[in-house]
Amino acid sequence: MVRPTDALRLPGYDFVDPGLLAQALTHRSAAPLHNERLEFLGDALVNLFIAEALYKRWPRADEGTLTRARAELVRESSLAQIARTLDLGAHLVLGPGEMKSGGHRRDSILADAVEAIVGAIHLDAGFDACRAAVLPWFESAIEALPPPNKIGKDAKTRLQEWLQGRGKPLPVYRLVSESGDEHAKVFRVACTLADPVVECEGEATSRRAAEQLAADCVLQQIEP
């Protein structure tokens, strides 16, 4: 059940105007005053915040590397994961059809809500306060980025190249479980290596994404 928007507490920020937060959490299916304009503003701000953070973090990285890294951090699935960390889904205001179809769990709606909240914070407190509140939401994802020379290659590709470069058997991906309603399934996948002997699992809303998470987990164990 969707809880009242005023029950939501964002880490690092309290709204002066709670109406902005309420609008940011309101999907277009629910009311005429919805979050699409705030989403437009927040999208631009998130891209700028992340671009600046990467520019400072990697002083020698070229434009292409920075662009690919930013795309990784601001893609829909990444923003949706932030929304889940902030528990936004439970506070979204949705129309009856979206509520019935599980819209509060859908990546696209969750990602839009994150961007809308960023836009709302900017209007509520200004650019500097918005950046200070929002960048910590991305901190763990930024820390988890591969080195600049490996940006652009997904975890499965990097794992395959690591194994092939050492003449070792390729990984085996196995579906461990599949749960949830048809419109909101959750997949758990295992990635297993024979040499070295390593196994990790990943869980996501698509089998492909779960495989990537499992491969990334394996990479973290085998790479120096």
For the annotated binding site for Mg(2+), the residues are 39, 112, 115
User: Catalytic pick from 98, 107, 115, 216?
Assistant: 115
Structural contact between residues 121 and 113, judged by C-beta atoms closer than 8 angstroms: no
Is 87 catalytic? The answer is no
Is 115 catalytic? The answer is yes
User: How far apart are the C-alpha atoms of 205 and 33, rounded to whole Å?
Assistant: 30
User: How far apart are the C-alpha atoms of 170 and 11, rounded to whole Å?
Assistant: 42
User: How far apart are the C-alpha atoms of 11 and 133, rounded to whole Å?
Assistant: 8
Binding residues, as ranges, are: 39, 112, 115
User: Catalytic pick from 43, 107, 124, 211?
Assistant: 43
Total count of residues recorded for the chain: 224
Indicate the SS3 state at residue 173: strand
Other CB atoms closer than 10 Å to residue 196's CB: what's the count? 11
Indicate the SS3 state at residue 85: helix
- The residues carrying an active-site annotation are 43, 115
